[in-house]
Amino acid sequence: MTETKIYKKLGSFKNINLDNLNFNSETERIKKIFDDNTFITKLSDYEKKIILDVKEELFLKKNSTFKLNNYVIEEIKTIPDDKLLLYLFHRYRYEIHPEKNILDEYPPYLQIEPSSICNYRCVFCFESDKSFTNKKSGFMGTMNLDLFKSIIDKAVGNIEFLSLASRGEPLVSKSINDMLRYTEGKFLNLKLNTNASLLNEEKIHAILSGGVKTLVFSADAADEKLYSELRVNGNLKTVLKNIELFNDIKEKKYPNSKIITRVSGVKVNDKQDFKEMNSFWSKLVNQVAFVDYNPWENVYNNKPNEITTPCSDLWRRMFIWWDGKVNPCDTDYKSQLSIGNVKNFDLKELWNSKKYNDYREKHLKKERSKISPCKGCVVT
Ligand code: SF4
């Protein structure tokens, strides 16, 4: 019997084009900040406790599990001195606590879905499942601005790592420009994922004047034929034109913007070559990456697999769909595991709810096979 291939959620980058980065200057800066007590004394007791663990992991321990890898260093470069410890506190909670099954008051990462609708039907995406995209399914829709604002208000000061994206294309939402502007100056690490096909001048201005720190353009190939094969309904020329427009506006109107741009592709077949990807896209963006494919198909019909390692995402991320429904992951894209609705509870209550904790407990007791769809899922 062949063993089930596990999909490790943390570190799902298969390739990234940042091998030659100089770490030294940032490491020196971090050291200085740790040595200068003025920053540590401003933290709460809990933040201080975690930050001392970070210090030990980064500078004292020999076989440390917490390492600042290349794309993290790129993020750190954009963080001012007075926010750096806070960034490291949240980064540590995001990377290490879920691996140790340590539960925090708030989720280390929040994903908010402005839209579950997408104009693409990528071969590796839930959007290719007609029982999901069918208008009558009830799964399709876009978030209204008031709901979005209320979620952001609940997250500010409690959660610093967020993505505006999940199952659909965020730029489909009619309110996306106002949503983006509402995030201005609120988070240390806000990511927006888009296929770039719907970018226009207005949206580009909203992205650059809002709170987005990393803008991820999803693309998996360097030529039109392969791109269209994978990104069904997509057109590489349109995407290129839009990214060029983004760069042009950024350069002319926002010369001091620190936004990081990345092209990120899903590696699904051998025709995709990282070298080709990198030489094609690196002229247009700061980073180029491939992530591993999480085989989600049949997740609801799969027989229970033999995986008994707990799913780390139960301690890492919380998802909020367009209609306010809260879910522990997007592999369960039809929300069988839904925890409740953000309209009725605050984020802390949802994250620490009985239902969520029951899932965690079952995973810890090696009983993920008792939960659907965890039983057929390969995420750990
Ligand atoms: S379905 Fe279960 S095991 Fe899979 S990602 Fe979601 S919570 Fe984790």
Assess whether pLDDT exceeds 70 at residue 223: yes
What pLDDT is stored for residue 24 in this prediction? Answer: 78
Q: Whose CA is nearest to atom 3 of ligand 1?
A: 374
Percent of the chain scoring above 70 in pLDDT? 97
What are 264-275's pLDDT values in tens digits?
998 888 898 889
| SS3 annotation, the chain | CCCCCCECCCCCEEEECCCCCCCHHHHHHHHHHHHCHHHHCCCCHHHHHHHHHHHHHHHHCCCCCCCCCHHHHHHHCCCCHHHHHHHHHHHHHHHHHHHCCCCCCCCCEEEECCECCCCCCCCCCHHHCHHHHCHHHCCCCECCHHHHHHHHHHHCCCCCEEEECCCCCHHHCCCHHHHHHHCCCCCCEEEEEECCCCCCHHHHHHHHHCCCCEEEEECCCCCHHHHHHHCCCCCHHHHHHHHHHHHHHHHHHCCCCCCEEEEEEEECCCCCCHHHHHHHHCCCCCEEEEEECCCCCCCCCCCCCCCCCCCHHHHCEEEECCCCEEECCCCCCCCCCCCEECCCCCHHHHHCCHHHHHHHHHHHCCCHHHCCCHHHCCEC
What pLDDT is stored for residue 37 in this prediction? Answer: 85
Assess whether pLDDT exceeds 90 at residue 3: no
Q: pTM (2 decimals)?
A: 0.94
Q: Whose CA is nearest to atom 1 of ligand 1?
A: 374
How far, in Å, from the CA of 377 to the mean position of ligand 1? 6
Beta carbon of 332 within 6 Å of any ligand 1 atom: yes
For residues 165-177, average pLDDT: 96
How far, in Å, from the CA of 69 to the mean position of ligand 1? 26
Q: Whose CA is nearest to atom 2 of ligand 1?
A: 374
Assess whether pLDDT exceeds 60 at residue 301: yes
Confidence band, pLDDT 50/70/90 cuts, at residue 19: low
Q: Which atom of ligand 1 lies nearest, measured to the CA of 373?
A: 1
